[in-house]
Structure 1
Amino acid sequence: MRAAVRGRADPDEVRARIIEVAEVLFRSIGYQKTSMADIAAELKMSPANLYRFFPSKLALVEQICARVTGEIQAVAWRIARSNGSASEKLERFVVELHRHNKTVLLKDRRLHDMVSIAMVENWQSIERHIEQMRGVVESIIREGVESGEFKVADPAAMAHVVKSSFVAFLHPQLLEQCFHEDMEPLARGVARLVVKGLRAGD
């Protein structure tokens, strides 16, 4: 694959092309083994020119990590905005995201590894992702409160608790450790226990 970038191309187009090529390389050989020189060579541009768009490899990797986590966020928000009760949505939230993350681990192991390391090292893209996921859970809880389904005094604080209770089914490293186990029944059980607590009140 050779993807030359024209010298007078629009800067936004160049950035997008750099991200695209870098992601392909990360998927094929892993982000740790991919150097900025490798990416520049694939794009037929000088490393110095590449650094004009991304000051470091981490800055570039952050963009790709944000894209990967953005796909997860899209699934989560789709669940939150779908039809059904808040209880049903919380259960779907943990089960469907568990399936999604497991699929990424199976099909895109190297991208999974990148996100896993990002979570351990607390990259900015991961911090934003965690806040987005908390926001999704809060949105569902608030919907349940407004409909009278849940009795929660502080939805924002409760969202943090609920999200934390789902970590075992969503965190990349924990997911990898239990990859060959069927965790969906347990995920459903935890979700239903959480819902029971939300219905009972603080």
Structure 2
Amino acid sequence: MAPTSETLTAERILEATEEVLRRHGPAKATVVDVARALGVSHGSVYRHFRTKAALREAVTKRWLDRTSGELSGIAAADRDPEARLRDWLTALFAAKRRKAGDDPELFATYTVLTGENGTAVSEHIADLTAQLTRVIQAGAETGSFTAADPEATARAVFQATARFHDPGYAQEWRQEGVEADFEAVVDLLVRGLRA
């Protein structure tokens, strides 16, 4: 293996892993493939990620965190809670559609990986529902929303909109009329939340 001029970091390994997964898919991608792409020994990769499962979990978490990061600014904004809720749900739907449409091979790979990595997925869902809870709590505090239990309400809103963010529904995201369906669900939820 040719020595690499850049320092090997966890981030570089994750970037290379993503590319290897895109090329080979989750069933065939190996740590040796990742090491080869980086020009290092597989032992060097194992110094950063002790097992193949740990590497796959880290790359899955990184992928999911991109969506969480996009949404956190909306959830934290000091704006009208109803507008924030609408914007947050719209951004979530757009992010998931973009991931499925822009890079379908990698999206399919991550669908497999998220099935393997329950911890990363459950942490992602907990983060998203915590963001929603902040928005709904703000609405309850300003009198815009009626929500005796903002956390339970956030979970219900998240579950009610699953068709527009759960990867299991990705095939439906390209169907004609899906945007209108999304708007109808969001309008219904907002009307139900209004004080």
**What TM-score, normalized by structure 2, do the two folds share?**
0.88
Q: Any idea what SS the aligned residue of 1:37 has?
A: helix
State the AA in 2 paired with 1:141: I
C-alpha spacing 1:120/1:18, structure 2 compared with 1 (3 Å): closer
Alignment deviations for residues 121-148 of structure 1 (CA, whole Å, 9 cap, x no partner) = 4521111100001001101100101111
- Please name the residue that 2:176 is paired with: 181
- Does the aligned pair in 2 maintain the 1:62–1:123 contact within 8 Å? no
Residue 31 in 1 paired to residue 41 in 2? no
Unmatched segments (≥5 aa) in structure 2: none
Unmatched segments (≥5 aa) in structure 1: none
- Does the aligned pair in 2 maintain the 1:115–1:172 contact within 8 Å? no
Which residue of 141, 145, 148 corresponds with 2:143?
148
What pairs with 1:3-22 in structure 2 (closer than 5 Å)?
A: 4-5=3-4, 9=7, 13-22=8-17
- Does the aligned pair in 2 maintain the 1:134–1:159 contact within 8 Å? yes
Q: Any idea what SS the aligned residue of 1:181 has?
A: coil
1:51 deviates by 2.2
- Please name the residue that 1:67 is paired with: 62
Which residue of 83, 88, 100 corresponds with 1:93?
88
- Please name the residue that 2:118 is paired with: 123
Residue 167 in 1 paired to residue 186 in 2? no
1:59 deviates by 1.1
1:43 deviates by 2.2
Q: Give the ranges of 4+ consecutive aligned residues of structure 1 lying more than 3 Å apart after TM superposition.
A: 2-7, 118-122
Distance (whole Å) between structure 2 residues aligned to residue 134 and residue 118 of structure 1: 21
Distance (whole Å) between structure 1 residues aligned to residue 119 and residue 176 of structure 2: 31
- Does the aligned pair in 2 maintain the 1:138–1:158 contact within 8 Å? yes
What pairs with 1:106-121 in structure 2 (closer than 5 Å)?
A: 106-121=101-116
C-alpha spacing 1:3/1:173, structure 2 compared with 1 (3 Å): farther
C-alpha spacing 1:24/1:4, structure 2 compared with 1 (3 Å): farther
1:155 deviates by 0.7
Alignment deviations for residues 27-75 of structure 1 (CA, whole Å, 9 cap, x no partner) = 2332332111111222232223322322222211211111211111122
Distance (whole Å) between structure 1 residues aligned to residue 44 and residue 72 of structure 2: 37
The number of residues matched between the two structures is 195
Distance (whole Å) between structure 1 residues aligned to residue 2 and residue 21 of structure 2: 15
- Does the aligned pair in 1 maintain the 2:145–2:194 contact within 8 Å? yes
State the AA in 2 paired with 1:30: G
When the two chains are superposed, the root-mean-square deviation of aligned CA atoms in Å is: 2.3
State the AA in 2 paired with 1:16: E
